[in-house]
Structure 1
Amino acid sequence: MTKLSATIAKLTVMRGVTAAPANAVGASRLKDLEGFGANPGALMARIHVPSRLHEKPALVVVLHGCTQTADGYDHGSGWSHLADEQGFVCLFPEQQRTNNPNLCFNWFSPADNRRDRGEALSIRQMIDATVAAYDIDPSRVFVTGLSAGGAMTSVMLASYPELFAGGAIIAGLPHGSADNVQQALQAMRDPGAINAKQLGDLVRKASRHEGSWPRISIWHGSADQTVSSKNADAILAQWLSVHDLDPTTAATEMIGQHRRRVWKDGSSRPLVEDFRIAKMGHGTPIATTGPEACGSAMPHMLDAGISSTRRIASTWGLLGADQTAQAASTYKRPDETPAHLPAVKFSRLDPMASETSPPAGSARAGVEKVIHDALRAAGLMR
């Protein structure tokens, strides 16, 4: 029998769900979610609920990047289409220009990047309302985000680890990177020396959590000139420390030109995985053709021939058995099988052979572009 509290929550939430108008990427697939809580961060909430929903479905929380909207990120990433295929719910917190002129989540603000404060609390309230309204399996709640959304994903995973079974951070930054604008810009350029224990302590001290920690998937382009890929190294060190994993025990594979490493627990369950996408700049890697096709190419949604959306969903166990097997085998040589990946020593990621350096000419223009891109990515410049 459905609990009375869940019924009330569902009626409250669904009463506040209204269709959104079409936008620049076509007719919206998302609806507005209202009445989800006090909303101290003054965020919008968008939601996609498939017409055919699994019993006790999973929930994927998706955080867009700067200059993006929930609709735009959904169109590029294809999350709502995958939800229709697999019967899970998608929740899209959305920034407003009154909070940040570039629509960046304020991951660098102490008013928003702590447990039970500002935007972080608003996102939690959206999650709680959605879980109650749609009878979500609380053990299958996941979060992912790009850039500022990736940095906010780090905030959510550290601040509310009890909420999430897993998280995927795309071109983001580790938790605790910045508490002001200057620190944010410096962290985006170069996070500095990496001390795994200190980074891990930032997560461990962000809540009073004593249970198991979320599984982590890290994605970063090798040619990202907006958020340095050293941040992916720092995120990796942070979560290897939190999971108490030996950095030297990674299993490694090449997926086309792209490198994936994975760390598992004693039961061979993946706990941390790290994707470095060859030659890719700042954005979310997608595939627009082939068996992994999902989403559409657009600014910061980059066709790299590999779908982060499908592979993240596969890691979280959200795909059917056939699609999971297909994603695991795509682009592999016949003798490569994930179950028998060699262990390799890891310290810091060596530059990928396919990585290209910025051209030597026009140095001043190049530096100005990097600065302007960084200011926009941090929400500090239009």
Structure 2
Amino acid sequence: MAISPLIAAFGLTGASATTASAASLTEVTNFGSNPGNLRMYVYKPDSAPARPAVLVAVHYCTGTGPTFYSNTEFARLADQYGFVVVYPDANVSGQCFDVSSPQALKHDGGSDPTSIAQMVRYTLQNMNADANRVYVTGASSGAMTTNVLLGDYPDLFKAGAAFMGVPFGCFATSDGSGWNTDCATGKITKTPQEWGDLVRGAYPGYTGPRPRMQLWHGTEDEALYYANFGEEIKQWTNVLGVSQTPVFTDSPQSGWTRTRYGSAGTQAPVEANSFQGVGHSLPASGMAARAIAFFGLDGSGGTTTGPIRAAGSGKCLDVPGSSQTNGTQTQIWDCNSGANQTWTRTSAKQLTVYGGAKCLDAAGTAAGAKVVLWDCNGGTNQQWNLNSNGTITGVQSGLCLDVTGASTASGATVGLWDCNGGSNQQWGLG
């Protein structure tokens, strides 16, 4: 099997998962029939609650479960948020996972995906884990496996995050080899319906909900070409029944374009992250935390924290001059990660800033009313709905959060206005 492109190109840049926790990585044997002959490693942090969530973290070619544990941030995040991490370990020459054989591309068909599903079932049964919070992520071969697992086991996984993968079924071969050059080099293209049918065909008769997908890829990927990123978007938007036109687009950092499909929030049905000039070298430091937030494993308990970006301008909802004076009207400004641009949506539908010290407040109920900073008081004028079409509407007024005059300039004020579908009324949190 030709695996050298992945071996040569992969450069893991995630921070070490080493922590002060007394918990350690443990190998589990006899977790099932294990048709893929994989090894299973589990990290259960000391902070795990009585019924923890489960994250499956799948390594790249030439990697192992223990190295993926040591060289990525998922275990550190597990210490912080209390979920269990399962690290499958490929047990063949080259340490790649099977995403090519007919057995791998079928629900309980055998091979590596079935072994990983058995690991999850073992964890649910023996660690009292929460079957409603099971997720999967992976890099390179692990990202391809993430795509396959979401297709094979929509009944088991709630969401996935694929760092540098290819669509489900793209790597399929019929000659017994594990490498598909046409797929790797981005030469396989299909319609969204064709890609979606491959996923649906993996589990005939399944009619339940489908897992959400978060995608990551660099434009200069020399191992699994960037064209695969677009094909993945086509596939998963079709599978999840949402438009290929993004609801929300922004640039969290220079060279990073993020698009969300079906919803503008942190946990959209599909999120795609593209990195200009980046090769086969993801996840970089900090990206694991973004995946954890996408899964909802970041301990928010229904809250989400981050900047609120205006779709029309790419700028952030901002408190001018970092003021904490009641009545200060909000504006849009170049995103800078400041405390005056870091908002939290609480379970009470508030949008708070400065660590909860102040709330986003509608100073009236009519179109044109200012949206200002005010002490949090629980009023309905401080409650906001984050809607699937990207709008933020006031609970009291029903009006949309609006950049005045559809301006895209820094300093443009923010108020309430009748909802009209404009990009100046579309926002993304996180």
1:127 paired with 2:120, answer: yes
Any idea what SS the aligned residue of 2:63 has?
Answer: coil
1:109 paired with 2:104, answer: no
Could you tell me which of 288, 294, 300 is aligned with 1:321?
A: 300
**Pairwise CA RMSD of aligned residues?**
3.0
| Corresponding residue number in structure 1 for 2:42 | 47
What one-letter code is carried by the residue in structure 2 that aligns with 1:89?
A: V
Residues 80 and 182 of structure 1, relative CA distance in 2, 3 Å threshold: closer
Any idea what SS the aligned residue of 1:80 has?
Answer: helix
| Corresponding residue number in structure 1 for 2:274 | 276
Q: Conserved in 2, the CA contact under 8 Å of 1:197 and 1:241?
A: yes
Q: Conserved in 2, the CA contact under 8 Å of 1:107 and 1:152?
A: yes
1:186 paired with 2:182, answer: yes
What one-letter code is carried by the residue in structure 2 that aligns with 1:152?
A: T
TM-fit CA distance, 1:29: 4.0
Distance in 2 (CA, whole Å) between partners of 1:82 and 1:332 is 29
Residues 94 and 268 of structure 1, relative CA distance in 2, 3 Å threshold: closer
Q: Conserved in 1, the CA contact under 8 Å of 2:53 and 2:83?
A: yes
Aligned length: 298
Aligned pairs (5 A) from 1:360-375: none
Q: Rg: which structure is higher? A: 2
What one-letter code is carried by the residue in structure 2 that aligns with 1:115?
A: H
| Corresponding residue number in structure 2 for 1:234 | 231
| Corresponding residue number in structure 2 for 1:143 | 136
- Higher RCO structure, 1 or 2 (CA under 8 Å, sep 6+): 1
> Which moves more between the two structures, 310-319 or 107-116?
107-116
| Corresponding residue number in structure 2 for 1:260 | 258
Residues 182 and 80 of structure 1, relative CA distance in 2, 3 Å threshold: closer
Residues 241 and 315 of structure 1, relative CA distance in 2, 3 Å threshold: same
Distance in 2 (CA, whole Å) between partners of 1:319 and 1:269 is 12
| Corresponding residue number in structure 1 for 2:29 | 34
| Corresponding residue number in structure 2 for 1:69 | 64
> Which moves more between the two structures, 132-141 or 68-77?
68-77
Any idea what SS the aligned residue of 1:47 has?
Answer: strand
What one-letter code is carried by the residue in structure 2 that aligns with 1:112?
A: A
Could you tell me which of 197, 221, 246 is aligned with 2:218?
A: 221
Distance in 1 (CA, whole Å) between partners of 2:301 and 2:104 is 41
Q: When you count helix as a share of all residues, which structure comes out higher?
A: 1
Q: Deviations over 1:6-64 (max 9, x none)?
A: xxxxxxxxxxxxxxxxxx99999421011211111100000000112123211000110
What one-letter code is carried by the residue in structure 1 that aligns with 2:49?
A: H
Q: Conserved in 1, the CA contact under 8 Å of 2:64 and 2:90?
A: yes
TM-fit CA distance, 1:286: 2.0
Could you tell me which of 192, 196, 212 is aligned with 1:196?
A: 192
Any idea what SS the aligned residue of 1:122 has?
Answer: helix
| Corresponding residue number in structure 1 for 2:167 | 174
| Corresponding residue number in structure 1 for 2:51 | 56
Residues 341 and 115 of structure 1, relative CA distance in 2, 3 Å threshold: closer
What one-letter code is carried by the residue in structure 2 that aligns with 1:285?
A: P
Distance in 2 (CA, whole Å) between partners of 1:274 and 1:60 is 20
Distance in 2 (CA, whole Å) between partners of 1:278 and 1:266 is 22
Q: TM-score, normalised by structure 2?
A: 0.64
TM-fit CA distance, 1:107: 1.1
1:206 paired with 2:198, answer: no
Any idea what SS the aligned residue of 1:153 has?
Answer: helix
Distance in 2 (CA, whole Å) between partners of 1:163 and 1:43 is 19
| Corresponding residue number in structure 1 for 2:245 | 248
> Mind listing any 5+ residue stretches in structure 2 that lack a counterpart?
1-15, 319-331, 336-340, 344-385, 391-430
Distance in 1 (CA, whole Å) between partners of 2:32 and 2:315 is 46
Any idea what SS the aligned residue of 1:248 has?
Answer: coil
Residues 328 and 55 of structure 1, relative CA distance in 2, 3 Å threshold: farther
TM-fit CA distance, 1:341: 11
Residues 114 and 191 of structure 1, relative CA distance in 2, 3 Å threshold: farther
Give the fraction of aligned pairs with identical amino acids, expressed as a percent: 28
| Corresponding residue number in structure 2 for 1:349 | none
TM-fit CA distance, 1:70: 1.3
Q: Conserved in 1, the CA contact under 8 Å of 2:54 and 2:84?
A: yes
